[in-house]
Amino acid sequence: MSLHAIVEERPRGGSHAGYLETLGLVERLHRLLLDVIKDEFERLGQIEINAVQALLLFNVGENEVSAGELKSRGYYQGSNVSYNLKKLVELGYMHHERSEADRRSVRVRLTGKGRAVRESVAALFRRHADLLEARGVIGFPAGEDVNAVLRRLERFWTDQIRYIY
């Protein structure tokens, strides 16, 4: 059963219902973000990689990272990140190099091709931020309030995972 269905089953009111609604919104927003990226890439004729891979390139940015670092930052889970990194290396969007310090670890960074994808995603996000503000959908002060709430939720969930045992 989806979170949306659970939220719809619950009576309105109270913190429980509000929390379930927040969970549903977070879940739907993530899927919509991937759809927005997918649509932009289809418009640009970029069909070689998927939206998850494009977002991964965006999040890596100018850094050199390992799969473990991406997971520990909370961006990706388990084999999903390993599969996508391997695919991006094969397609020429990322360089990979075995770490000198830990031979089991592979470090990755963007190639020129990867940086071009990152810039496409960044341009999309800049356009959307400008449109949101210009249309009065969400401005800086309201955006900061939303971000503060989401950071608190992120910390709460992180603490729940970290201190589960």
Q: Is 155 among the domain residues?
A: no
Residue 158 has pLDDT above 90, yes or no: no
List pLDDT tens digits, range 46-104.
Answer: 999 999 999 999 999 999 888 778 777 666 665 688 888 889 999 999 998 887 777 77
> Does residue 130 share a domain with residue 61?
yes
Based on the structure, what is the number of domains in the chain? 2
The percent of residues in the chain predicted with pLDDT above 70, rounded, is: 85
| Backbone phi and psi for residue 53, each to the nearest 5 degrees, phi listed first | -65, -40
User: What is the per-residue pLDDT for 50?
Assistant: 94
User: What is the per-residue pLDDT for 1?
Assistant: 43
Buried b (16+ CB within 10 A) or exposed e, 12-27: eeeeeeeebbeebeee
The percent of residues in the chain predicted with pLDDT above 90, rounded, is: 54
CATH code, 110: 1.10.10.10
Residue 12 has pLDDT above 60, yes or no: no
Query: How does DSSP assign 68-99, residue by residue?
Result: HHHHHTTS--HHHHHHHHHHHHHTTSEEEEE-
User: What is the per-residue pLDDT for 75?
Assistant: 65
Which residue type sits at 104?
Answer: R
Q: Is 157 among the domain residues?
A: no
Domain interval for residue 90: 48-134
> Does residue 75 share a domain with residue 40?
no
Q: Is 102 among the domain residues?
A: yes
11-20, 32-41, 134-143: which has the highest mean pLDDT? 32-41
User: What is the per-residue pLDDT for 119?
Assistant: 97
> Does residue 129 share a domain with residue 62?
yes
Q: Is 16 among the domain residues?
A: yes
Q: Is 139 among the domain residues?
A: no
> Does residue 5 share a domain with residue 67?
no
User: What is the per-residue pLDDT for 70?
Assistant: 78
Query: How does DSSP assign 93-150, residue by residue?
Result: SEEEEE-SS-TT-EEEEE-HHHHHHHHHHHHHHHHHHHHHHHTTSS-HHHHHHHHHHH
Mean pLDDT of 119-143: 90
Per-residue pLDDT band for 13 (boundaries 50, 70, 90) equals: low
- Quick one: tokens of 74? 């909370």
Which residue type sits at 6?
Answer: I
SS3 47: coil
Candidates 43, 68, 31, 47; CA nearest to 123 is 43
User: What is the per-residue pLDDT for 32?
Assistant: 96
